[in-house]
Amino acid sequence: MPQRPVFRKDYVRKCTEKSYSIFEKIILYCQCDGGNDIFLVEL
């Protein structure tokens, strides 16, 4: 499954492995349902 960036406001609810702030945005590397998704959450 390709990793696609998903823009959300408050999605830090399910799973958060690592978080990095890049370009005023927080990139959360989540691992859910055996898949890796990258969620871009605005500060």
Helix ranges (DSSP H) in the chain? none
Report d(CA 29, CA 19) in Å as an integer: 6
- pLDDT, tens digit, for every residue of 28-37? 555 444 445 5
Is residue 10 within 8 A of residue 41, CB to CB? The reply is yes
pLDDT higher than 50, residue 6? yes
pLDDT higher than 50, residue 12? no
Q: Return the domain boundaries, the chain.
A: 5-42
Report d(CA 33, CA 8) in Å as an integer: 19
The number of C-alpha atoms within 13 Å of 28 and in the hemisphere containing its C-beta is: 20
